[in-house]
Amino acid sequence: MILGNTLGIDLTMVAVVGVSLLVVVGALTEKEAFASINFGMVFFFAAILPLATALTKTGASDVIADFIINILGGSTNPWLISIVFVLVAFVSTQFLSNTGCVAVFTPLALMVCVRLNMNPVGIMGLVNIGCTASYLTPMANPGLPLVMASGGYSVKDLFKSGIIPGLLICAVGVVWCSLFFPAY
C-alpha cells in the first residue's frame, strides 16, 4: 500500500488481494473473513458519498455555504472562520463517519472560501483536521468500535479519553493553518 501510487496499483485492489491471499493460504477461513467485515460501515459509506455528490451537483452546497456566511455575520475574520469550520467538522464527525464528513464538508468549505474570496488551503486543512480528530464516539472513526470491542470500553470511556486530545488537535490546527496558510 505504501508503494501503491508509485507502482500505479489501486489501493483497494491491494486490500482485496491481501485478504484473498490470507484466505487462500489458510490464515483465515472464508467465514472469518466475512465475519470481520463491518457491513454497517460499508452501507454508511455507500450512502454518505452519494450525498456529498448530490450536495454539490444540486446546488445545495451553495445554499448551505450562504447559511454559514450568514451565521458568521458576514465576518471575513480568518481566525473566526477557521474556528467555526474546525469545530463544526469536529462536532459533526462525532455523529458521522470521518470520511463521510470530509466528503460533505469539502464542497461546503470551498464554496464559503470562494464567496469570501479566501485562499481555501488552510480551511480545507482545518476541515480534514476537525474530521480526523474524532475520538469521542464509535461512529466517528472506524477503528474505535474495534478498540471498544476488544478492550471492553464504553462510549463514556471514549469521550473521557478523547475530548482533550481532540480539542488540542483542533486548537493547534487552527493556529498552524492560519499562520502557514493565510486566508488573505
* DSSP-derived secondary structure for 32-93: HHHHT--HHHHHHHHHHHHHHHHHHHHTHHHHHHHHHHHHTTT---HHHHHHHHHHHHHHHH
Summary mean pLDDT of the chain: 83
What pLDDT is recorded for position 49?
67
Q: What are the tens digits of pLDDT across the range 81-121?
A: 889 889 988 988 888 777 778 878 888 888 888 888 888 89
Q: Is the pLDDT at 45 greater than 70, yes or no?
A: no
**Do 141 and 67 belong to one domain?**
yes
The rounded distance, in Å, linking the Cα atoms of 133 and 166 is 5
**Do 93 and 147 belong to one domain?**
yes
**Do 71 and 107 belong to one domain?**
yes
Read off the pTM.
Answer: 0.67
Percent residues over pLDDT 70 in the chain: 93
Number of structural domains (the chain) is 2
CA angle 118, 170, 88 (to 5 degrees): 65
